């Protein structure tokens, strides 16, 4: 049975159900599997499987304390008609790559792939563990996680959800999605700060014993819907397995031949899921990590030094990647170090104290499977315009960052290995930037931009974004970056 241990060395191993309920380890580390399981089916034996069946071949391997019946119910409840694409995740050839379209869920972003199933995994875990406390989902978001988590947990019995987002640091559409969220157990706050401030504040609450004691008096326990929760990360592994199966099915690859994976990355969870898929047996040759102008990951992959000291924070047209502290990188460091929790703990303490760290030669050797590149705002817009004008394929800004970095990678390496690009959001979520990129007039109002983009391209507007402007604002709170705990307390009273 797979057990989950902390990246920072605690020997207090948990079952997957216990790790999902807790969200983060008691030593502030992240839960990782104590071994990587193999796929229960070879990819070439899944050519006739639908997405649910592929997920059912992946999730039980990691969540080994759940029964087959429990996981089947979670999977079938998550990946149903709420996804507008019949196949759930289309794999579409455009340019010289294959786009893994992860945005056909209710909130039009890839976070739906995991956050549609996490509430079912969590409530099942609560029953298994006979957990009677109310679970408080505490989440920081750079734009997409917040809405997907709110949508998933709205009115789920035994839970409350509190989301913090950077006020002014997300797109108009993203903000409106969150502040109009219905549900008696939903609470949304802007913070006067950036995503890193929100994430740091949330992590501080998780590690504060006084907060835990006060929550206990209210019969509440904290958990997370961020990708720091292993219940968020594991479902993401399934779509990389699905991608490989689809390339086999389309005749792009033969069984055993490798693919490359290109991921626009901020918090490192999405690309880490691809790394986990490789550990399960999916042949992935190169992990191409694409950043925007907040290129701390690009610099880290190229130098082995993670340094945010004095680094300027950029607000860009790909706001979900406006991140300098990439939480899930901690998990990769743990695996590449040979599961050395003490080493990872020292690196994280160095980041907190000195705003930088340098990894060992062993970790640097493991990073050779990764390529790091970045795209400016201008390059992002140029990539959107070129692919749309050339092939009529419309990308959002984050996917365009990945596409631009992939073009750079191909030119630099001459690597012809078929590449899957994680397409992380509908273009309509960032319509202001996309309209400008394809030569339409500039719109300050995101909803006007949606209308203009639809009229010009004929690309369907996702149901979750239709009539968004007219929905009533239900959450208007804005707090200082040191006021997160008070906002949580107020929400739970």
Q: What pLDDT shows up at residue 313? A: 94
Q: What is the mean pLDDT of the chain?
A: 96
Distance between CA atoms of 206 and 222, rounded to whole angstroms? 7
Q: What pLDDT shows up at residue 423? A: 98
The encoded tokens of residue 418 equal 């078929």
Q: What pLDDT shows up at residue 442? A: 86
For residue 479, list its beta bridge partners. 191
> 260 pLDDT band (50/70/90 cuts)?
very high
Judged against a pLDDT cut of 90, whether residue 226 lies above it is answered with no
Distance between CA atoms of 23 and 21, rounded to whole angstroms? 6
Name 105's Cβ contacts closer than 8 Å, sequence gap at least 6: 82, 83, 84, 112, 113, 116, 148, 464
The encoded tokens of residue 478 equal 């804005």
The encoded tokens of residue 470 equal 């007219």
Judged against a pLDDT cut of 90, whether residue 244 lies above it is answered with yes
Distance between CA atoms of 7 and 335, rounded to whole angstroms? 9
For the residues 77-86, what does the mean pLDDT come to? 97
- Percent above pLDDT 70 for the chain: 100
The whole-model pTM stands at: 0.94
Q: 261-320, pLDDT tens digit by residue?
A: 999 999 999 999 999 999 999 999 999 999 999 999 999 999 999 999 999 999 999 999
Judged against a pLDDT cut of 90, whether residue 444 lies above it is answered with no
For the residues 227-237, what does the mean pLDDT come to? 95
Judged against a pLDDT cut of 90, whether residue 227 lies above it is answered with no
Judged against a pLDDT cut of 90, whether residue 104 lies above it is answered with yes
Distance between CA atoms of 402 and 213, rounded to whole angstroms? 44
**How many distinct helices (H) and strands (E) make up the chain?**
20, 15
Judged against a pLDDT cut of 90, whether residue 325 lies above it is answered with yes
Distances (CA, A) of 486 to 167, 249, 281, 489: 17, 52, 46, 5
Q: What pLDDT shows up at residue 143? A: 86
Q: 127-151, pLDDT tens digit by residue?
A: 999 999 999 999 999 988 999 999 9
CB 79 within 8 A of CB 112: no
Q: Between β-strands 31-33 and 4-6, what pairing exists: parallel, antiparallel or unpaired?
A: antiparallel
Please spell the DSSP secondary structure of 148-165, one letter per residue: HHHHHHTT-TTEEEEEEE
Q: What pLDDT shows up at residue 186? A: 98
Q: 153-197, pLDDT tens digit by residue?
A: 999 999 999 999 999 999 999 999 999 999 999 999 999 999 999
Distance between CA atoms of 200 and 202, rounded to whole angstroms? 5
For the residues 406-416, what does the mean pLDDT come to? 98
Q: What pLDDT shows up at residue 467? A: 87
Q: Which residues are catalytic?
A: 111
- CATH class label, 91-109+231-459: alpha beta
Q: 27-57, pLDDT tens digit by residue?
A: 999 999 999 999 999 999 999 999 999 999 9
Q: 459-478, pLDDT tens digit by residue?
A: 999 999 998 999 999 999 99
Q: Where are the domains of the chain?
A: 91-109+231-459
The encoded tokens of residue 238 equal 């399934």
Residue with tokens 């999605």: 177
Q: What pLDDT shows up at residue 62? A: 98
Q: What pLDDT shows up at residue 183? A: 97
Distance between CA atoms of 292 and 217, rounded to whole angstroms? 43
For the residues 472-493, what does the mean pLDDT come to? 96
């Amino acid at each position: 049975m797979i057990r989950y241990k902390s990246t920072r060395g605690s020997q207090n191993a948990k079952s997957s159900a216990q790790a999902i309920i807790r969200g983060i380890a008691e030593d502030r580390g992240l839960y990782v599997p104590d071994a990587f399981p193999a796929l229960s089916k070879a990819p070439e034996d899944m050519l006739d499987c639908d997405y649910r069946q592929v997920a059912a071949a992946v999730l039980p391997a990691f969540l080994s304390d759940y029964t087959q019946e429990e996981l089947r119910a979670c999977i079938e409840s998550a990946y149903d008609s709420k996804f507008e694409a019949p196949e759930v995740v289309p794999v579409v050839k455009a340019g010289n790559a294959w786009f893994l379209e992860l945005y056909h869920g209710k909130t039009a972003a890839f976070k739906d792939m995991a956050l549609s199933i996490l509430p079912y995994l969590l409530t099942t875990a609560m029953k298994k563990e006979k957990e009677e406390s109310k679970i408080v989902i505490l989440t920081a978001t750079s734009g997409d996680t917040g809405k997907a988590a709110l949508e998933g947990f709205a009115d789920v019995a035994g839970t409350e959800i509190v989301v913090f987002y950077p006020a002014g640091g997300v797109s108009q559409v993203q903000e409106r999605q969150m502040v109009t969220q219905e549900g008696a157990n939903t609470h949304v706050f802007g913070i006067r700060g950036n995503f890193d401030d929100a994430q740091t504040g949330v992590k501080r609450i998780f590690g504060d014993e006084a907060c835990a004691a006060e929550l206990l008096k209210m019969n509440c326990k904290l958990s997370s819907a961020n990708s720091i929760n292993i219940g968020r990360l594991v479902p993401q592994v399934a779509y990389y397995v699905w991608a490989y199966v689809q390339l086999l099915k389309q005749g792009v690859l033969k069984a055993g031949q490798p693919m490359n994976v290109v991921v626009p990355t901020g918090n490192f969870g999405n690309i880490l899921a691809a790394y986990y898929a490789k550990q399960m047996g999916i042949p992935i040759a190169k992990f191409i990590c694409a950043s925007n102008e907040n290129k701390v990951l690009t610099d880290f992959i190229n130098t082995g030094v993670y340094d945010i000291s004095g680094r300027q924070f950029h607000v860009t047209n790909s706001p979900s990647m406006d991140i300098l502290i990439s939480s899930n990188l901690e998990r990769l460091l743990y695996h590449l170090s040979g599961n050395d929790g003490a080493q990872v703990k020292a690196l994280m303490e160095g980041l907190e104290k000195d705003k930088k760290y340098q990894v060992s030669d062993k970790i640097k050797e493991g990073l050779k499977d990764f390529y790091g590149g970045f795209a400016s705002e201008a390059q992002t817009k140029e990539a959107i315009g070129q692919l749309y004008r050339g092939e009529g394929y419309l990308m959002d800004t984050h996917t365009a960052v990945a596409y631009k970095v992939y073009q750079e990678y191909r030119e630099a390496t001459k690597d012809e290995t078929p590449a899957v690009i994680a397409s992380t959001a509908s273009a309509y979520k960032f319509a202001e930037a996309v309209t400008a990129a394809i030569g339409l007039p500039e719109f300050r109002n995101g909803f006007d931009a949606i209308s203009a983009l639809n009229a010009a391209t004929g690309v369907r507007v996702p149901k979750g974004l239709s009539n968004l402007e007219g929905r009533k604002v239900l959450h208007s709170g804005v707090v200082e970056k040191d006021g997160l705990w008070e906002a949580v307390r107020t929400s739970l009273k």
